[in-house]
Structures are given as structure tokens and as C-alpha cells.
Amino acid sequence: MSSLVGSPISRVDGPAKVTGRATYAAEFHPDGLTYAAIVESSISAGSISHIDSTLAERAPGVLMVLTFLNAPKLPYGPYKQRPAVEPVSGEALRVLQDAEIKFSGQPIGVVVAQTQTQAEYAASLVRVRYVPAKSLTHFDSDRSVPTSEAAAKKGRGPEARQGGDADEAFHQAAVKIDAHYVQPREHHNAMEPHATVAEWKDGQLTIWDKTQWVDNVREEMVRIFGISADSVRVINPFVGGAFGSSLRTWPHVTLAVMASRQVGRPVRLELTRRQLYYSTGFRPHTEQRVALGAQHEGHLQAHIQEAIGQTSTYEEFAEATLDAPAVTYACENRRTSYRLVPMNTNTPCPMRGPGHATGLFAQEVAMDELAALLKLDPIQLRLRNFAERSPKKDLPWSSNALQDCYRIGAERFGWERRTPEPRSMRAGRQLVGLGMATAVNTAPRYPASASATLLADGTVVVRSATSDMGPGTYTAMTQVAADTLGLPLPRVRFELGDSTFPKAEEHGGSTTTASIGPAVREACVALLAKISNMLGLSALFAPDLQDKIKLAGFSQIEAHSDSKPGEEKNRYAMYSFGAIFAEVHVDPDFGTVRVTRISGAYDAGRIVNPKLARSQCIGGMIGGLGMALLEGAEWDTRLGRVANANLAEYLVPVCADIGELDVVFVPGEDKLLSPLGVKGLAELGLCGVAPAIANAVWHATGVRVRELPITPDKLIVYL
């Protein structure tokens, strides 16, 4: 049998999704289900002086209205260990526990009714008076503060230095650029809104929740409600897109669980599109300064990158904005600085390529600017500063094929036809530009567990409490299991999304295949060994397998495995790499930008499923196009609210915006990172796309736009 790992197999869960048989969180319907709606704060800071729910309680179908006046006081116990998906410090919103208002849109009440319409109508009847306080709704860099010691322990400290005095080296450099870059606040806008169905029954709590980490939801409910882990089960077999927004357990989950316990019936709480902008996180507004100094031949002498990000007043969200700048290029003198501006807003959260995409935008546009000053090809500048070892900790790479990405990507894209001068290429009246950028993202591996069970009918069920928000976990893990067992795909079923399954860490950060894959393989190896001992079989292809199982008196045979990284994680720098190329056409009369082509060459180790991997990369390209040209929250500083909190005015790419997308994977594997040889890919797909497009726009127009998104008004005045 040829290897299933590496084959472009279609999604095993595809038929269930396209026929509507896949069940998402809001679609579970326990008996007696009721419906909830949130009452939100209309001010950004202060306290509630009076709240009147009388009219809401009298409305048709209403079963209960909960506010801080009558909601149960919850323990909100301390963390045994703060989950990796939580902000590095601060305290999560304690929902309905007091009268304090921390941000506009904060949940201040929940209505439970017989129907969704009744609940939403009743929620509109709750009357609230406030005592406003001074609110911090402006992103004011003068108010920025250094990140905390807790952030520093996660590698996100206020300052880091490599080599000598970067500022002095910059001052002495022969050629230099010093510029300011702005990444606006962005929101996820996944197809599936966040939703939770909660049911208490006979002392047991069952939660169906849109989450990327069922175990974390369970642990959070244990901590918040002071109940035992054995009494909580969290289920989530399908996720309709998340990309970081479902890593945390947001306040609406607590509200649903609280409401269900108080009303004595199951409760469904689904956020509206508008509420997604306040009740879950977002990519934070970030402003950066990049100063690069180089010798005339292009070798970097100084790299200074200073970032100021947005966070809430009650939690410290510090992301890896400066990780990519610390590792991408060789430079003898480097200084990075990271500060935060606390604001009266809900807390940001990871969003595809968190931190890395933001840091790379500033860095890669700055590198393009430096290449122009040096009159060097942008690829040549990057090759001359290729890092043979990771500069951050002076460690060898577990693998690094970035130079091959540049070469192969340039050949496929046709980079050689690029003329160096801006405004030198045209297609009819359209200005044509070609741009490129480096993509870099961490490639971690987490501990994971899995089980493999041979059933009496000869099929094998493999389980792990991981998730699948779209990258193809179901399919990739089925391939790994079937390949290990020597079985055809139809005889293997992979199950996930249940906290009763073997433990797994978060489904995020491009960690799943590298983490769950080895656990699945080891569980299958253990199952084969157990079957051999118990049934005397060396393979599962015996024609009388079912008879042998029955004769042996077994209804099933199960094996379990735990897998985790070893010391290699401390001895090597583990990253995935890529080179992104973009072609744009710009209308000189209107300043409109059309991305006609994007091409990416990726170093992601062994590719388990090329079809699904390509899908991840083109999805990242589309997200990067949105980041470059369309996306951005319009923040109302008077109200502390997102003015375009809807899919009509918050612009995202649609099919008509997309040109040709080309993906190639550089051959290789990384056995140091993972026994499967794989490296993280999904986050990498978005990294580098926005700066490649921004650099292409400069090449087409001669206009350097350093604030995203690149909208016509930022170009037309110069054209």
C-alpha cells in the first residue's frame, strides 16, 4: 500500500459539512431548550447607578432576567496555572458580579426566554442609568507602558538587545531608513458566530461551545463555578472558522452556564454579528517604528524595531509582535522595544499569525525601503542578510529552507521580469507592481494524548480532545492513523472535540499536526502491539479478523499514548518559513488596487496532505489581502465603540477580489521538531502577504503607504 501521509486526500468530514449533517455548537438541541440574549453597556467606563428589568420580566415568554443585582456570586478561583491562551496578566471580566463598567458593549445582563426573538426583545426593554467615569478611548502612545515581568517571561518583554549598541550602529550606518508603520484593529468575522448551549442535569454540566480547546472551557468552568472537573463535559465536533477567536473562554460562556443553572433548563446563547466585536477579541491596533542601518553592499548593521500595541485596562494582552524581527535576518546590533496602551475596550486576542503578521508588516516594508535606497533587488538584500543561526538565542535551526523559498518562489512567480524603478511597468493604463516579503512563524509542538480502539467490526476509532476549525484535523489524523495501522481510510474514524477524550492542548498557533500527529501514531503503534499479543495477528488485514475478535471474547481492544517534545525544543530554534510574491494593478485615475497574483513558496517540513495544506495557504493569502487593502475597525473615540461592527461596513475579501493564487511547498522534513517531520503551516500562510502587497503597490506607483489598509484615498492624491 502506498503511503497515505503525503497524499492529497479530500476532507473526510466534507460530505457531512456540505450535506448539513455536521452539527455546530448552536445546533445542539437538548430537551427543554431555552434562549438567551445579552444586555450590553452603552458607556465605556463608569458604573451602573440603576438597572430596571421590570418591563423585560413582564414581556412574553421571558423566564428570567439576570443582572448584577440578582446573579449568583461566583467563586472565580485562582488559576492553578494561567492557560497559554489567556492574557499574560490581569484579571478576566467577572461577568454580572458588580456594577463596574470597563468597556462599551460589556455584558451587564442576560435574558432567558422561550424563543430567541422573545429574549432579544425583552433585552431591549432593560433600562439602565450610569455614573460615567473618565474613559481611555484614544490610542495615545504617550500613555504607553512597558510590558510586565509576566510578559517578559513569555518572551514579550519591554526591551531586548542583541549584539552591541543598535542606536549607535544606526547612527554610524552608511545607508539607513527610519519610518513609522500602523496596523489597525482587525476582527475575525468567522462564518459561525460564537455560541454556547449549556445544560445542568443531575449535577452534571454539559456544554456545547464554539471553541478551539474543549479542555480549557472545562477548566475555566471548574475555576469560575467552583465545581469538580468530573462534573463538566464540553463538546464541540465542528468549528465554522475561528483563527484565534475561540481559544479563550469568553464571558458569554459563563453567562450561558449561569443562566442554565438559575432557570433549571438548557440555555442557548448565540452572539449576534455586532456582539462579536465586543464579546470576543480582535487583532490589536499596533504602531511601530523600524530603523534599519546598512553598509553600502547591503549587510545590516543595525535593526531597531519599537512596537506599541493596544490592550484593555483590566488585562494585559501582549503578543509576539517582535519575535519575527528578532529572528528573520542576521544583524550584529539589534534592539526591540514593546509597550502597551491600556484602553477602555474589550481585550484583544490572537488572530491568524498573531504578532508575527504585525511585526513582519513593518519589518518587510522597511526592508523593501532599504533595498530601494541601496538600489538592490529585494531578494538579494534578504539573501545577503540570511541568518545561518537563529539570532534571538544563537541557536541552530531545527530546519531552515528559506533560501530555497526565495529561489523557487521567484522562479515560479517570474520575478526576473520585474524592472527595478517604480512606475516602470504597465498593462494598458494600469500601473503594474511586483513586490515580495519574507514569511516567518514559530513552529511549536505541545504535549498531546490519543487513544486507538479496534472495534468488533474491524474498524478502528482514534480519539483526541483536539479541534478542527477548518485546517483539516479530521482528515490529516485519519491519514496518519490509517498509514500507521496499514488500513484503508474507510476503516479508520478519527473523533475529536470532546473533553472526555484524551487530553490535547489548544488548537491554534499551527501546532496541531506536529502535536497530535505523533500521539495518534504512537497510539496506533501501541494498538498493533496489543493486538499482536492478544490475537496473535501481525496486521489488521486478516480476512477472519472479526471472527478472531469474537472468539477471543473481546468487544473492543484499546490502546492509549502520550506524546511530548523533549530537550530538542531548548536546543534548536523551530520556525517555519516562506517567501511571498504579489502582483498588483493600480488604476492611476481612481487609486484602486487589484491584486492579480499572489505566489507563496513555503518551508513547512513534511506535508501530510498537500490539498489541505494548499487550502490553508490560499486562505492565508486571502486574509493577507484583506489585511493589506480592506480590513480595519473604524473606532469611535467618543463612544469607545467600533462604528463598522457589521459585515456590511467591515470589509473583507470576496471572490471578486481574488486573482491567481499559487502555492508551492519546498521539499523537506523536520524530524527534530516532530517525529512526523512536519512543521506548523496555517499561521504562516497569512504572514508576509500584506507587506508583499504593500511593496508591490509602491513598485507600481512610487507611493509608500505605511498605514494599513491601503485604500484609494491614500494613493490618489499622489497619482
Judge whether 495 counts as a catalytic residue: no
Alpha-carbon distances of 520 from 159, 563, 568, rounded to whole Å: 40, 9, 20
User: Of 78, 30, 71, 28, which Cα lies nearest the Cα of 51?
Assistant: 71
Q: Is residue 64 within 8 Å of residue 263, measured between CB atoms?
A: yes
Alpha-carbon distances of 451 from 269, 448, 461, 499, rounded to whole Å: 33, 11, 8, 13
> What does the angle CA 633 – CA 67 – CA 344 come to, to the nearest 5 degrees?
30
Q: d(Cα 715, Cα 695) in Å, to the nearest integer?
A: 13
Strand partners, 595: 584
User: Of 343, 357, 153, which Cα lies nearest the Cα of 243?
Assistant: 357
Neighbours of 466 (CB within 10 A): 32
Instruction: Please state whether beta strands 62-67 and 575-586 pair in parallel, antiparallel, or not at all (unpaired).
Output: unpaired
Residue ranges of alpha helices (H) inside 189-343 are 214-225, 251-263, 276-279, 323-327
Catalytic residue among 57, 270, 683, 707: 683
Q: d(Cα 295, Cα 176) in Å, to the nearest integer?
A: 9
Q: d(Cα 330, Cα 299) in Å, to the nearest integer?
A: 9
Q: d(Cα 218, Cα 482) in Å, to the nearest integer?
A: 30
Alpha-carbon distances of 69 from 130, 177, 533, rounded to whole Å: 15, 57, 63
Q: Is residue 102 within 8 Å of residue 9, measured between CB atoms?
A: no
First to last CA, the chain: 60
Q: d(Cα 625, Cα 598) in Å, to the nearest integer?
A: 9
Count of CA atoms in the C-beta half-sphere (13 A) of 716: 8
SS3 content of the chain, % helix, strand, coil (to 5): 30, 25, 45
Contacts of 626 (CB under 8 A, 6+ apart): 651, 652, 653, 709
Helices (H) and strands (E) in the chain, counts: 19, 29
Alpha-carbon distances of 697 from 23, 165, 232, 583, 704, rounded to whole Å: 43, 34, 52, 8, 8
The cell for 436 is 515580495
User: Of 393, 291, 284, which Cα lies nearest the Cα of 339?
Assistant: 284
E runs forming strands in 458-531: 460-463, 492-495
Residue 451 identity: S
DSSP letter string, 483-502: HHHT--GGGEEEE--BTTSS
The cell for 439 is 514569511
Catalytic residues: 683
